[in-house]
Chain A
């Protein structure tokens, strides 16, 4: 029973994408993933319309002070089990904006993060690699 559940979770991760104040560089790479060029739908990865449907939260961007509360709220709306992927240098650590008065800096300061994918912006291949690592960690657990 447990192995069937794990299999289903690995084969059907629905993602939702949240931009917490990114420059849109990482967002374009995320869109490239979902569109025919890289087409992650082959792996069962689907863009969910609402956070209630999603399993994986793809966050991009340095978390601005204004966005922090919204990011937390979106995270709380997702049903368990849920995973967070921080995409890009800003989402991982704050990037070049670290120390700025208007940013929190790093998604990990607001919500727990499962996988960090650095890069400015990371290539779609790198994002796929990160998501595969996340799914493999599910298999081992």
Chain B
């Protein structure tokens, strides 16, 4: 977009820029506003980061469990609940900063994720129903044909709901810079700001990983030679990067919606569509797919 190259002089072709930003931020002075709720202000960003990293533990990355992951039956629901908790902690961190911009940004986070969680859960049920399991690793294993082919409608809607859940364009009203300065992170500086940024970045990877596990066949792909673990990890990372590129492309393609449009889009369009998509998936999986395959 606009033919901009982005940071290109930090390390080889600018790859170290996030590292430089992070080191700079954690070495800066730490200011806590006088009226802030100090305990919440201190701990919410760091807690949000640790919870989202904890949520990453449940993804089967290498497909053969050489890298142990703490999967259990029903961890899909647990993982999506962790995503909600992270968003709630982000809301708390904005609300605790006692700044009007921070509060409005935080309120918008709350309004947005409360709405978009419902279609997200409903859409995540489609692959769960196709695989007859609520465990992420079993859903990934069950995809001899990736579910993106069996239920493309659910895949597209899930991408949109995920875009909204992660507060990316066109749904990034909580951190609309032209209206809200920095949104919920307005009053943050130094290390806590670094953790808020890091939480957002890990959230993006988390969302992309859920999409890969539920719809794109997880880490499984053709094994050419040698250890399957190596190939499965490679396939997982390639699919993950593909989803992130797609999501970033969507984000730079669309302009930001207003908060009322975001809400209308959720309750009037996305929620009925996700219910319809679930009904369609259940109907096809019960009556059509057993005959075809």
Residues on A close to B: CB < 8 A? 4-5, 7-9, 11-12, 36, 39, 41-44, 48-50, 52-53, 55, 77, 79-81
Check: B3 CB closer than 8 A to any chain A CB. yes
* Residues in B neighbouring A7, C-beta threshold 8 A: 20, 23
Q: For the complex, count residues of B whose C-beta is within 8 A of A.
A: 34
- In the complex, the answer to whether A50 meets B186 with C-beta atoms within 8 Å is yes
Check: B70 CB closer than 8 A to any chain A CB. no
Check: B6 CB closer than 8 A to any chain A CB. yes
- Give chain A nearest CB distance to B75 CB in angstroms: 36
* Residues in B neighbouring A8, C-beta threshold 8 A: 19-24, 27
**Contacts A5-B27, A53-B182, A79-B31 known; A12 to B20 CB distance under 8 Å?**
yes
**Contacts A39-B5, A42-B5 known; A50 to B24 CB distance under 8 Å?**
no
Complex formed: what's the CA distance from A9 to B27 in Å? 9
- In the complex, the answer to whether B177 meets A36 with C-beta atoms within 8 Å is no
Known pairs A42-B5, A42-B7. 14 more at Cβ < 8 A? A5-B23, A11-B16, A11-B20, A41-B4, A41-B6, A41-B7, A42-B6, A44-B7, A44-B10, A52-B182, A52-B187, A52-B188, A55-B24, A79-B31
* Residues in A neighbouring B101, C-beta threshold 8 A: 50
Partner of A49, one of B4, B29, B186: B186
Partner of B3, one of A36, A43, A49: A36
Residues of B contacting A: mostly: loop
Complex formed: what's the CA distance from A12 to B2 in Å? 22
- In the complex, the answer to whether A11 meets B31 with C-beta atoms within 8 Å is no
Check: B30 CB closer than 8 A to any chain A CB. yes
Check: B8 CB closer than 8 A to any chain A CB. yes
Check: B9 CB closer than 8 A to any chain A CB. yes
Interface residues of B in 186-224 (CB under 8 A from A): 186-190, 193
* Residues in B neighbouring A44, C-beta threshold 8 A: 7, 9-10, 14, 17, 20-21
* Residues in B neighbouring A4, C-beta threshold 8 A: 23
Complex formed: what's the CA distance from A42 to B10 in Å? 9
- In the complex, the answer to whether B10 meets A53 with C-beta atoms within 8 Å is no
- In the complex, the answer to whether A9 meets B7 with C-beta atoms within 8 Å is no
